Every structure is written in C-alpha cells, then in structure tokens.
Structure 1
Amino acid sequence: MDRTIGYLREILSNYTDQYPEAQQIYDKIKHGSFPTEEALVNDLNHGERALLNQILPEEINHAKEVQDDERYIQLNEVYELLPL
C-alpha cells in the first residue's frame, strides 16, 4: 500500500463512527488496490471528496504542529488532488 494511502486510512479510522463517507473511503482503501493517491481520489464520489476537503486541513495542521513532516507532506499531497 502506498504510504500516503496508509496515512489516509489511519486518520479515516478516527472518523468512521461520525461520518458514513469516512467508512466508505476506509472500505475502499481496505478492499481496493490503489497504486497511488491520485487513483484513490479519482475513485471517490462527491460526498467522499467533500469529507476529505473538510477533515484534511485539520489533520494537516495537526501534523505540522507536532512536527510530523512526513505525514504533513503525504496528507497535503492528497489534499492538493481534491477538487474544490
């Protein structure tokens, strides 16, 4: 699994109880085979993309605050692929 997708799966696990879309994305990652984060983003529906647009900025800021540079970079890569 791509490292970026692994980070995404990890943070989504924190939102699956609150957002059905988080569970849907988590399941796609768990059961799918996405060679890149771009392949995953292209497979997301509008609601799933909207959820990532909502939660990723907070997760990216958290990674920056705790100086987890790798996580910051990886999550930011996904965020930049999402349409606004």
Structure 2
Amino acid sequence: MDYTLGYLRESLSNHLEDQYGKSIYKKMLVNHYENEEEFVRDLDELEITFLNKVLKKEIRYAMEEQDEKRTKELNEVYELLF
C-alpha cells in the first residue's frame, strides 16, 4: 500500500461507526491496491459521496494542524473522486 492510501486508511479508522466507512476500510484491508487511482475506481457512488465528506473534514483538520504531508496525501485522493 502506498503512503497516500496509508494516510487515508488511518483517517478512515476514525469513521468506522458508519456503514460506508466500514465498507471502504474493509476494501482497503482485503484488496491490495497499488495506488490511489486503482482504489478510487473500486468505489461505488455512495462510498464516493461518503469519502468526499470525510476527506473534506480530514483535510481541514490536517491544515489546521499544519500537517502539510497529510494534507497533500489526502488531497490527492480527494481530487480523484471527481
């Protein structure tokens, strides 16, 4: 798993109470995605909608914490959702 997906998995671990959070997290554990493009292509519409909301919050938090690396990595996935 690449660094970007590692940051995403860590962020998703905070959202496992939601069925879509669980679904996405499980996909990441079961499938061994080579990169974020491959991962995003495997998401359905509802998972994309959920991830869009989560990433907005997680990116905002990373920016507030001045964690430039996390902000950059999460933003890479966020941009692929569109």
- TM-score interval, normalised by the smaller of the two chains: over 0.9
* Secondary structure at the counterpart of residue 50 of structure 2: helix
Identity %: 46
Unaligned runs of 5+ in 2: none
Alpha-carbon separation, structure 2, partners of 1:64 and 1:37? 21
Runs of 4+ with deviation above 6 angstroms: none
Deviation at 1:55? 1.1
Note the alpha carbon deviations across 1:25-74, whole angstroms, 9 max, x for none.
10010111101101000000111100011111111011011111100000
User: In the alignment, what sits opposite 1:10?
Assistant: 10
2:26 and 2:57 map into 1 onto residues whose CA distance is 22
Long gaps (5+) in structure 1: none
Give the structure with the higher percent helix. Answer: 2
2-side partners of 1:54 and 1:65: how far apart? 17
Count residues in correspondence: 82
* Structure-2 residue corresponding to 1:66: 65
In the alignment, which residue of structure 1 is the partner of 2:55?
A: 56
TM-score when scaled to structure 1? Answer: 0.94
